Amino acid sequence: MKKNVIVGQSGGPTAVINASLYGVVNEALNRKDSFGAVFGMINGIEGFAEGRVMDMEELKRSGELELVKTTPGSYLGSCRYKLPKDLNDEVYPKLFERFKEYDIGYFFYIGGNDSMDTVSKLSRYAEMVGSDICFLGIPKTIDNDLVNTDHTPGFGSAAKYVASTVREIAVDASVYDNKKSVTIVEIMGRHAGWLTAASALARKFEGDNPVLIYLPEVAFDTERFIQDVSASLEKVSNVIVCISEGINDGKGTFICELASEVGVDTFGHKMLTGSGKYLENLIKDRLGVKVRSVELNVSQRCSSAMLSATDLQEAVDSGAYGVKCALHGESGKMIAFVRADGEEYKLSYEAKDVNEICNREKGVPAGWITKDGSDVSDEFIRYAKPLIQGEVQVPQQDGLPLFAYRK
């Protein structure tokens, strides 16, 4: 008897998490000889526990699935639900009852660290109770912080967005090139600096902006920072500084936390500003130069204007590859990205043990950060450049990108 497939999305969305969904659904629906129905869980495992599922076949029939591919956000809805550590918790048999109810044989979960933890726990519980349901993880995260994979889908498009936006901000900042100024750009990444490092791709020539780049992997020294900015202003009139939101002093204190030591807002709450705003005030105070800060914010993960064709295709392919692995009975695995050695960029996929991936984080290697801690090396550029290649034409209607949504 053919078993049914269920797929879900979890954690923060990316610009291509729906491309991975497309990859899973399209591949499974193309293999009717092997699979039964293809279901989507609404709001991840949390919604599934409540029996909230949808049949995905109609989406393909109506052509809407093609539109899902280039729609940012999680089409199926997401959740931030973490399964209990104790596999004897009552939630597990309840979930497996649901699997039985929908006659599920194959479970795909598209997400980051926490989602891989869900795949790990469900697959271990399945083994414990002798269930033969296959549990597979499809990676996604703009943070690019999963271990045992060259990179993660979502990172390429986010990196392309960051690099192009920083290039535009640098152009914007240089229109008053007869007056000195500093612009601080705050980029997502609390623990890993991959996305901030991608701002280096914005440079049009050697020595171009962003002149300074600070990642959370290196302890941030505010005095050294002031010196760096001051020295840069001697060389470049309009200095762009890119920082990770998670820059910290190396001893557990985020730079943004320094701001909250004094301030209290109108409502009596501790003042919460980002690291960029804090450094803006610091530069104003210490260097007296014109300064502003820009937080790139959620567009980093949801802009459809800067989709990387490479990233989008890899997201689709990794979803489809997951389905092929399920056919071979693989379980408790995540689809990892393997880059071939050599000059030319070549990627293949491999199912790797999810238990060795979940709940771990991969930062930018120390060797890819310059010794003074204020830039990234050419190794990083060589690594990141292939991931942002290619443009995607998002369907348009009435002058705006057209997105799919659940009716």
**How far apart are alpha carbons 169 and 215 in whole angstroms?**
19
* Annotated binding-site members: 12, 113, 141-143, 188-190, 245
Toward a copy of itself, which CB reaches closer, 16 or 134?
Answer: 16
Of 13 and 373, the one with the shorter C-beta distance to a copy of itself is: 13
Beta-strand pair 3-9/104-111: parallel
Whether the Cβ atoms of residue 239 and residue 233 lie closer than 8 Å to each other:
yes
- Pick the binder of a copy of itself from 20, 118, 308, 331 (CB under 8 A): 308
Other Cβ atoms less than 10 A from the Cβ of 378: the count is 10
Closest CA to 334 of 316, 321, 317, 348: 321
Stretch binding a copy of itself (CB under 8 A), from 28-36, 317-325, 330-338, 387-395: 387-395
Q: How far is the CB of 171 from a copy of itself (least distance, A)?
A: 4
CA pair distance 106, 97, nearest whole angstrom:
14
* Binding string, residues 13-42; x marks residues near a copy of itself by CB under 8 A: x-----------------------------
Would you give the distance in Å from CA 140 to the centre of its chain?
6
Q: How far is the CB of 376 from a copy of itself (least distance, A)?
A: 16
Q: Say whether residue 345 binds a copy of itself (CB under 8 A).
A: no
Sign of the CA dihedral 307, 313, 316, 318? Answer: negative
Stretch that binds a copy of itself, among 19-27, 90-98, 369-377, 385-393 (CB under 8 A): 385-393
- The answer to whether the beta carbons of residues 362 and 147 sit under 8 Å apart is yes
Q: Tell me if 66 contacts a copy of itself by CB under 8 A.
A: no
Are the CB atoms for 329 and 134 separated by under 8 Å? yes
| Catalytic choice (143, 228, 317, 375) | 143
Which among 190, 148, 152 has a CA at the least distance from the CA of 360? 148
Question: Are 135 and 127 within 8 A, CB to CB?
Answer: no
What is the footprint of a copy of itself within residues 234-263 (CB under 8 A)?
258-259, 261-263
Q: Which stretch binds a copy of itself (CB under 8 A): 55-63, 92-100, 118-126, 391-399?
A: 391-399
- d(CA 74, CA 380) in angstroms, rounded, equals 29
**Is the CB of 44 or the CB of 139 nearer to a copy of itself?**
44
Q: Which residues 203-232 are close enough to bind a copy of itself by CB under 8 A?
A: 204
> In Å, how far are 186, 276, 281 from 292, measured between CA atoms?
11, 9, 9
Q: Between residues 306 and 357, which has the closer beta carbon with respect to a copy of itself?
A: 306
Interface stretch with a copy of itself, choices 227-235, 239-247, 299-307, 372-380 (CB under 8 A): 299-307
**Dist CA 164 CA 185 (whole Å):** 13
Nearer to a copy of itself, 190 or 284 (CB): 284
Pairing of strands 212-214, 238-244: parallel
As a dihedral over the C-alpha atoms of residue 272, residue 274, residue 276, residue 279, rounded to 10 degrees, the angle is 40
Q: How far is CA 367 from CA 114, 155, 276, 394, in A?
A: 28, 20, 25, 37
Among 136, 202, 243, 247, binds a copy of itself (CB under 8 A): 202
* Residues in 145-164 at the binding interface with a copy of itself, rule: CB under 8 A: 160, 163-164
In the region spanning residues 84 to 143, those forming contacts with a copy of itself, defined by CB under 8 A, are none
Could you tell me if 170 and 208 are in contact, meaning their C-beta atoms sit under 8 angstroms apart? Answer: yes
- Whether 143 is catalytic is yes
- Residue 267 sits in the site that holds a copy of itself (CB under 8 A): yes
Q: Find the shortest distance in angstroms from Cβ 164 to a copy of itself.
A: 5
Known binding positions for substrate: 141-143, 188-190, 245
**Binding residues among 168-197 for a copy of itself as defined by CB under 8 A:** 168-169, 171-172, 174-178
112 in Cβ contact with 82 (< 8 Å): no
Q: Count residues binding a copy of itself (CB under 8 A).
A: 72
**By CB under 8 A, which span of 117-125, 187-195, 275-283, 315-323 interacts with a copy of itself?**
275-283
Q: How far is the CB of 250 from a copy of itself (least distance, A)?
A: 20
Distance between CA atoms of 293 and 183, rounded to whole angstroms?
A: 6
* Smallest gap from residue 346 Cβ to a copy of itself (A): 17
Q: Which residues are catalytic?
A: 143
